[in-house]
C-alpha cells in the first residue's frame, strides 16, 4: 500500500501571504490529522478530520484551518503567515473510529521569510 | 504545557547495548501510548504501541513497559545498532489526538 503523501514537500512564502498544504491518506484510511513540528515546541496537534468532520482541534489561532474531502484527502490552510509559522507540517492518517494508529507522511517544510 | 514528559533529552549507547527512554503523563483519559522513530528529513514512523490494560509489549528488539498506577511508560531498545540512531518520541492518545513528548535523540556508537 502506498503511504501518506504530502504536497508540496518544500515551500517558501513571505509574511502576510497564505498557504495551502495537501495530504493524501493511506488507501482505506478515513481519519486525517495534522501536526506542526518545530525545534522549540516539538510536535503539536493542529486538528483531526474523519468523514469530512473535524473531531478535535489543537490550540492554534484561527489563521490555521483545514478541511477533508469525501475521498478522505485533506488540506490545511494558513492565512496571514508569520515568521513563527515556519515549521514542518505533518499529516497522519489512520483507519478512524477508535484506533489511534497514526501513520505519518514525510511532511511539508514551510519557510516564511 | 507539555502533557507528556519525556527523558532523557539525548543518550549515547554502545552498539549492542540497551537504550531506555522514559515518559510520564498526568491525564488519565489517555488510552493509547505509541512510540515513534524519526530520522532527519523524514516523518515519524510508528514503532510500537500499547494500551493501558497491558503492562508490557515486545516487538523484536523494542519493548514498551507500562505502569498505569505511576502513569509512566518506557521504551527499551535491546541490542542497539547504529541504524537505530534517530530521535524517538513517546505519545499519548485521547479524543482523536496524540500528545507528544519532546523527543530523545539516540546515538549508537559502533
- The CA distance from B48 to A103, in Å, is 12
A26-80 pLDDT tens trace: 999 999 999 999 999 999 999 999 999 999 999 999 999 999 999 999 999 999 9
**In chain B, which residues have their Cβ closer than 8 Å to the Cβ of A43?**
44, 89, 91, 100, 103
* Interchain CB contact of A38 with B (< 8 Å): no
- The CA distance from A81 to A64, in Å, is 10
> Measured between CB atoms, which of B41, B43, B102 is closest to A90?
B43
**Nearest CA distance, B17 vs chain A (angstrom):** 27
B46-89 pLDDT tens trace: 999 999 999 999 999 999 999 999 999 999 999 999 999 999 99
B34-46 pLDDT tens trace: 999 999 999 999 9
* Interchain CB contact of B86 with A (< 8 Å): no
Beta-bridged to residue A43, according to DSSP, are A37
Which residue in B has a C-alpha nearest to residue A49's C-alpha?
B96
Amino acid at each position: 500500500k502506498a503511504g501518506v503523501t504530502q504536497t508540496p514537500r518544500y515551500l517558501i512564502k513571505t509574511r502576510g501571504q497564505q498557504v495551502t498544504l495537501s495530504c493524501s491518506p493511506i488507501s482505506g484510511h478515513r481519519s486525517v490529522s495534522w501536526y506542526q513540528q518545530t525545534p522549540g515546541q516539538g510536535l503539536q496537534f493542529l486538528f483531526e478530520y474523519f468523514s469530512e468532520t473535524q473531531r478535535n482541534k489543537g490550540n492554534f489561532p484561527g489563521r490555521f484551518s483545514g478541511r477533508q474531502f469525501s475521498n478522505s484527502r485533506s488540506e490545511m490552510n494558513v492565512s496571514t503567515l508569520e515568521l513563527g509559522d515556519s515549521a514542518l507540517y505533518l499529516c497522519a492518517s489512520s483507519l478512524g473510529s477508535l484506533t489511534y494508529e497514526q501513520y505519518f507522511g514525510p511532511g511539508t517544510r514551510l519557510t516564511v521569510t | 504545557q507539555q502533557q507528556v514528559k519525556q527523558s532523557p533529552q539525548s543518550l549515547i549507547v554502545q552498539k549492542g547495548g540497551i537504550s531506555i527512554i522514559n515518559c510520564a503523563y498526568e491525564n488519565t483519559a489517555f488510552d493509547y501510548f505509541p512510540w515513534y522513530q524519526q530520522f532527519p528529513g523524514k516523518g515519524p514512523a510508528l514503532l510500537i504501541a500499547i494500551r493501558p490494560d497491558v503492562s508490557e509489549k515486545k516487538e523484536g528488539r523494542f519493548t514498551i513497559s507500562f505502569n498505569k498506577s505511576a502513569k509512566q511508560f518506557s521504551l527499551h531498545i535491546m541490542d542497539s545498532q547504529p541504524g537505530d540512531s534517530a530521535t524517538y518520541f513517546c505519545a499519548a492518545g485521547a479524543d482523536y489526538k496524540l500528545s507528544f513528548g519532546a523527543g530523545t535523540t539516540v546515538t549508537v556508537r559502533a
